[in-house]
Structure 1
């Protein structure tokens, strides 16, 4: 077994069929299994997944049903259950749009052992606004190396369902981290301590942005203030190695929230190109 697909779910019956089918359509030269970490869904999410599991050759492993753990603690027990070389994350309202999503990531990581993880460009689906967005790509190569310092300037990942991680580094995560509210940004910065993150050009996954999402239902101001509060915590976790870079990030957010009104609304989309555009307008 080469890879664990980590399926994280909670009350996502509306989307879960497309999610699971996008996993099952994967064409790989290696074997993988699916670890289902359902956080006590009260709808039919788990029943739908079990129907697929009963009629498929790919192994499904269902983690024991417990009390509702919350997003981060559910991830902790899910990571603990992974025992293969790589971990591919799939959240229950996202899906992969390319049958070679897993193959592409594993091939890249096998060929680039210096990288701690990889993540791909993805389709962002703004469900309530009925619009789509794909981040621009201005690199001559079909991949880009991202360091922790670059991540400290702003989240370059944006969605966990586009990530494939080396399990050896996930096993080194401090258990105390799971007492915090964190997701892809901090995880990426920590993984960057073991080697560069690989950002892949090809768009192979889709990320749904809707009002039920923890992050997307927050206002611009709430998101900005949450990021600023998180920075102080993350700075300490990373042993204050990126304090000056974090200060620059805070400055940009504060200008966006309380300064130039034209910069407001961009907090929701912390992307490589928006970072560059914002920095051109900030007087340092």
Structure 2
């Protein structure tokens, strides 16, 4: 098997047919689909079973009996379980509400990896898809500058196709295998190459879990990733700049970490070494993040600032 597509689903009954259909319509046939469902209760599992009866689709359903629910960890568990049963030489991951827009995506990505053994992954652009509008953004072009990822830029995991060898060689992080955690593992495993085509539509939904998360929650998740990175001994010098901002933000608001809505994150970090959240909560005085900044990190931060400026400018022009 050349390629395994992992689809992560939770209550995506309105969108699953679009997601699965965009895989089945590809001009490529050496692939399998693995759907990991997070215990949906909206009829998604029935849709998955119907597809599995007539197509090359494996699936499993996760039980939802966890003491606390953290979406990033649940998604990570689904991806890791799917990787265990994947037969493909290469892997790509798709959310159940997103879909591919380029029917040559599988062929183009696998052909590149077949002929460029020095690369661990290939990346292509995506477009944001809204109910009333559809707008292409050039996020993929920035990912040629790896320093931008280290400075905190988001790289959508569904834009990647990566070698399963990354998983087989135990190069993934232990806990965090969601969008950012898996992208981090890909980034330190080797080079990735960006293709100019737009191949995936990222559906923007106002009521999604990530849209409802506040800035402190997002910063906490970054520090959970940092804890995993430190425990796995996967820290590299350039990656320090990625964590400067969430470290600073959480330290300035350390009293809020004791609020009930953040308890599940604190509990998820207990029992593991390098418990950064606990250290922040237990600190009695205001402490500035003690991170040494080298030349690469300064360039990373400057790139991030320029990226944010041009992104805001683009949105203003686009709205006009």
TM, length-normalised to structure 2: 0.67
Deviations 1:188-220 (A, max 9, x none): 222233310222221010111224433222234
**Over aligned residues, Cα RMSD in angstroms?**
3.3
**Equivalent in 154, 176, 191 of residue 186 of structure 2:** 191
Higher RCO, 1 vs 2 (CA within 8 Å, ≥6 residues apart): 1
Deviations 1:32-81 (A, max 9, x none): 111121122111112113323334xx411123x44137222112211111
**Equivalent in 188, 203, 209 of residue 208 of structure 1:** 203
- The separation in 1 between residues aligned to 2:2 and 2:215, in whole angstroms, is 40
Distance 1:138 1:49, change over 3 A: closer
- The separation in 2 between residues aligned to 1:25 and 1:191, in whole angstroms, is 27
Shift of 1:97: 0.6
- The separation in 2 between residues aligned to 1:33 and 1:253, in whole angstroms, is 40
1:27 matches 2:27: yes
**Equivalent in 147, 158, 162 of residue 159 of structure 2:** 162
Larger Rg: 2
Contact (CA 8 Å) 1:91, 1:160: kept in 2 or not? no
Please list every run of 5 or more consecutive structure 1 residues that lacks an aligned counterpart in the other structure. Answer: 259-271
Please list every run of 5 or more consecutive structure 2 residues that lacks an aligned counterpart in the other structure. Answer: 67-73, 253-301, 311-320
Distance 1:66 1:134, change over 3 A: closer
Contact (CA 8 Å) 1:121, 1:162: kept in 2 or not? yes
Contact (CA 8 Å) 1:97, 1:205: kept in 2 or not? yes
Distance 1:275 1:253, change over 3 A: farther
Partner of 1:72: helix, strand, or coil? helix
The answer to which structure has the higher helix fraction is: 2
Partner of 1:216: helix, strand, or coil? helix
Contact (CA 8 Å) 2:4, 2:92: kept in 1 or not? yes
Distance 1:138 1:276, change over 3 A: farther
